[in-house]
Amino acid sequence: MMSTFDNCILLNAILKNDNLYDDSDASYLFMLQGLHQQIVMEYYSRSEKIILKMRELGVDNMESWSEIDNLYVNDIVDEIKIENYNGIIPKIRNLIETLETKYGVE
C-alpha cells in the first residue's frame, strides 16, 4: 500500500507543514514499508479515520499539520534516519492514539 494524503499522517505532517525545507523527509517513509504488514495496515486504517475526522472538523490545515510535525513526526523521522525501528513503532502508536483522542476518533 502506498502513502497518500488520505491514509498517512506522517506524509501529511511532512508535506503540509509550514517548513518547506523538510519535504525531502518524505522519502524516508518508504523505509517503514519493511515493518510487519499488520502494523503497516493498522497504521493506514487508523490514520485514514483520523484524517477524515480532521477534514470533518475543518482542521486539515497547515497549522494543525505543523503542530503534529513538530510534536511527533520530526522525532519519528529522526528514528527512521538512524534505522531505530524498535523505537519507531511505540512513537507511531503514541501519535495515533493521541490524535484519535484529540479529534474524537472511535
Into how many domains does the chain fold?
1
pLDDT per residue of the chain (106 residues) written in tens, 0 to 9: 789 999 999 999 999 999 888 888 888 888 887 788 888 899 999 999 999 999 999 999 999 999 999 999 999 999 999 999 888 999 999 999 999 999 999 8
pLDDT value for 97 = 98
For residue 73, the 8-state DSSP code is I
Instruction: Report d(CA 12, CA 4) in Å as an integer.
Output: 8
Contact status, residue 8 vs residue 25, Cβ threshold 8 Å: no
Instruction: Report yes or no on 21 lying in a domain.
Output: yes
Task: Using alpha carbons, select from 62, 2, 92 the residue that is nearest to residue 100.
Answer: 92
Instruction: Report yes or no on 52 lying in a domain.
Output: yes
pLDDT value for 91 = 95
Task: Please give the angle made by the CA atoms of 14, 80 and 3, to the nearest 5 degrees.
Answer: 50
Contact status, residue 53 vs residue 105, Cβ threshold 8 Å: yes
The parent domain of residue 89 ranges over 9-103
Distances (CA, A) of 5 to 48, 57, 95: 9, 16, 17
Instruction: Report yes or no on 79 lying in a domain.
Output: yes
Give the distance, in angstroms, between the CA of residue 16 and the centroid of all CA atoms in the same chain. Answer: 11
Instruction: Report yes or no on 56 lying in a domain.
Output: yes
Instruction: Report yes or no on 68 lying in a domain.
Output: yes
pLDDT value for 37 = 86
Instruction: Report yes or no on 2 lying in a domain.
Output: no
Instruction: Report yes or no on 28 lying in a domain.
Output: yes
Instruction: Report yes or no on 40 lying in a domain.
Output: yes
Instruction: Report d(CA 35, CA 59) in Å as an integer.
Output: 29
